[in-house]
């Protein structure tokens, strides 16, 4: 009867939504970690991507795509070989140790969705943990009864900061139409080093976001 009364008052809706968000976060984690991030399959696909890349006027047409020295496929523009995955990845961003997979052309948008859902779960969990700690007392008895909750809150705060900074940095790079690898290794990448523009792929914030997510 008590459960029925809480349901009628809507008190069970928030825990249910929280559980669904956690479940969604777990499913997204497995989806992003297990899916193909955009592995380069063969030279025919690479040649097609090269033609598309050369159609961009800001990229010098004299730049020739090289053959990967590890997997021996012809690398499309913006691709890079990942030695952990043992594959060349299209529009390579980085290899993420959290998901044990590369973040590339195919799973990068879903990776952003995963980070967003994870951030919501962490913020919600932090709020719940803080609500149990607001009656703080400087006593050993209080610490004994709230030690687990206190440690949980500290861990949630740390992970929230990490996820928030990671999400902000990715959204910034996406708005500029660049990748983490291109941003960190600009001076070593031929199609960026020889370009007249600092970022030849930038087509404006709105168009960059539209092409990435849509």
- Token representation of residue 155: 């861990």
Q: Looking at 71, 85, 96, 176, which residue is catalytic?
A: 96
Do the Cβ atoms of 110 and 38 come closer than 8 Å?
Answer: no
Return the closest-CA partner of residue 121 out of 22, 27, 200, 54.
22
Residue 171: what are its φ and ψ, rounded to 5°? -65, -35
Q: Active-site residue 85, yes or no? A: no
Angle CA 93–28–177, to nearest 5: 30
Q: Chain-centre distance of CA 36, in angstroms? A: 15
Residues carrying an active site annotation = 96
């Amino acid at each position: 009867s008590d459960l029925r009364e809480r349901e009628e008052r809507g008190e069970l809706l928030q825990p249910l939504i929280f559980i669904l968000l956690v479940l969604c976060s777990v499913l997204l984690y497995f989806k992003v970690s297990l899916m193909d991030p955009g592995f380069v399959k063969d030279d025919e696909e690479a040649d097609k991507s090269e033609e598309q890349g050369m159609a961009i006027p800001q990229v010098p047409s004299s730049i020739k795509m090289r053959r990967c020295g590890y997997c021996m496929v012809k690398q499309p523009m913006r691709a890079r070989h990942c030695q952990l995955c043992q594959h060349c990845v299209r529009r390579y961003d980085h290899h993420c140790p959290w998901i044990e997979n590369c973040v590339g052309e195919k799973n990068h948008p879903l990776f952003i969705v995963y980070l967003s859902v994870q951030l919501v779960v962490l913020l919600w969990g932090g709020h719940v943990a803080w609500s149990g700690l607001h009656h703080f007392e400087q006593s050993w008895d209080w610490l004994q009864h709230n030690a687990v909750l206190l440690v949980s809150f500290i861990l949630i705060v740390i992970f929230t900061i990490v996820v928030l900074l990671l999400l902000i940095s990715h959204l910034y790079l996406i708005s500029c139409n660049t990748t983490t690898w291109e941003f960190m290794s600009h001076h070593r990448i031929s199609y960026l080093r020889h370009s007249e523009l600092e970022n030849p792929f930038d087509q404006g914030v709105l168009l960059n976001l539209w092409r990435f997510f849509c």
